[in-house]
Amino acid sequence: MTAQQQHLPYPLSSGTDYQALAARFRPIFARIAAGALEREQSRSLPFEQVKWLKEAGFGAVRVPVQYGGAGASLPQLFELLIELAAADSNLPQALRGHFAFVEDRLNAQADAPQDTWFKRFVEGDLVGNAWTEVGSVRSARSAPVSRAWVNTGWSTAPSITAPAAFSPTGSTSMPSAMTPAPT
């Protein structure tokens, strides 16, 4: 164990059998590829395709095996993202914030709640990109209208400390990448 890893409460995911891991997702990548051109031409968002990835556990590939994830190494994740990008290049971009947050949890200090997050990732939760805006940033203000969110202007946020979203009903939850508003 390196000096850098001594503060970590969990061993980092160091790798698994890549061919077996990729075989798990390749049928989904093929389904995604089948409609990618039409989605691109019609400017349709891949809500259903993200759902397929969530259901297959794609968001938990870096979670350590002892917490129910696949235990993939970072290079293995990149290989999977390259295969996914060959199917639809928009999806790795949409999921980049999620995987950045997973890495943050994997590398967090020992007093951070990694196991809580690992459980959520294994259950299919995905983190959206808003968590990455830290410090004093100019951000959009949103407000619920009916059962969806709309941009109401700009504000200055001192910091965003947690990846949380507030629903129109007042509940708090972790945002999911490209999940439509409830109907």
Per-residue pLDDT of 7-34, as tens digits, reads 454 566 778 899 999 999 999 999 999 9
pLDDT above 50: residue 55:
yes
Whether the per-residue pLDDT at 40 is higher than 80: the answer is: yes
- Looking at the fold, whether 117 and 140 belong to one and the same domain comes out as no
| Domain membership flag for residue 138 | yes
What is the pLDDT, as a whole number, of residue 140? Answer: 53
Give the integer Cα–Cα distance in Å for 23 and 97.
24
In a domain, 180, yes or no: no
Helices (H), the chain: 18-42, 47-55, 74-87, 90-106, 114-122
Is-contact 67 118, C-beta < 8 A? yes
List, for residues 61-117, the tens digit of each pLDDT value. 999 998 999 999 999 999 999 999 999 999 999 999 999 999 988 887 666 678 888
Of all helices (H) and strands (E), which one includes residue 156?
Answer: strand 148-157
Residue 151 has pLDDT above 80, yes or no: no
How many CA atoms does the CB half-sphere of 163 hold within 13 Å? 22
Residue 152 and residue 67 share a domain: no
Split into its structural domains, the chain has a count of: 2
- Minimal CA–CA distance to 163: which of 105, 106, 78, 111? 105
What pLDDT is recorded for position 110? Answer: 61
Residue 178 in any domain: the answer is no
Residue 42's pLDDT is 95
**The pLDDT of residue 128:** 83
Domain that holds residue 135: 129-173
